[in-house]
């Protein structure tokens, strides 16, 4: 879980079955209050889909597809920790979200978290 010299960051779910490597240091994370995010937490950091190395997925994971069927949230089948979400129909350059809680507390503390009103206005509600 140490920070790498090349600015990649390694994290994992609680039991270690799912391991993720961020390609670069995130500067901003999003805390969302929508019906799903307020339950599974976050904050989320976003990367181009395919640039985050994810080990143990899908063999050690389970998915949840919410009502509008645009993305799947992925969790570890063993410890239940949500690791990321991904688009159901990826398009070139599209982004996906990684749950920052799976990473080093020092990284979490260093990333600016913005509050996003996904429940209502679909806008950031901080300054």
Residues that bind Zn ion (CB under 5 A): 13, 15, 17, 76, 78-79
Q: How far is the CB of 35 from Zn ion (least distance, A)?
A: 24
Measured between alpha carbons, how far is 107 from 49 in angstroms, rounded to an integer?
21
For Zn ion, the closer CB: 62 or 110? 62
For Zn ion, the closer CB: 13 or 22? 13
Local structure of 105: helix, strand or coil: helix
For Zn ion, the closer CB: 15 or 119? 15
Q: How far is the CB of 98 from Zn ion (least distance, A)?
A: 15
Residue nearest to Zn ion (CB): 76
Measured between alpha carbons, how far is 9 from 7 in angstroms, rounded to an integer?
6
Give the HSE-up count for residue 84: Cα atoms under 13 Å, Cβ half-sphere.
30
Q: How far is the CB of 9 from Zn ion (least distance, A)?
A: 18
Measured between alpha carbons, how far is 100 from 111 in angstroms, rounded to an integer?
9
């Amino acid at each position: 879980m140490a920070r790498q010299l090349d600015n990649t960051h390694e994290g994992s779910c609680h039991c270690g079955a799912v391991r993720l490597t961020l390609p670069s240091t995130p500067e901003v994370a999003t805390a969302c209050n929508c019906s799903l995010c307020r339950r599974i937490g976050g904050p989320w950091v976003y990367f181009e889909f395919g640039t985050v190395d994810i080990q143990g997925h899908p063999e050690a994971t389970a998915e949840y597809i919410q009502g509008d069927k645009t993305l799947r949230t992925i969790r570890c089948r063993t410890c239940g920790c949500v690791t990321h979400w991904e688009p159901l129909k990826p398009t070139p350059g599209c982004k996906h979200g990684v749950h920052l809680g799976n990473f080093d507390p020092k990284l979490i503390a260093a990333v600016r978290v913005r509050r996003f009103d996904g429940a209502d206005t679909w806008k950031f509600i901080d300054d």
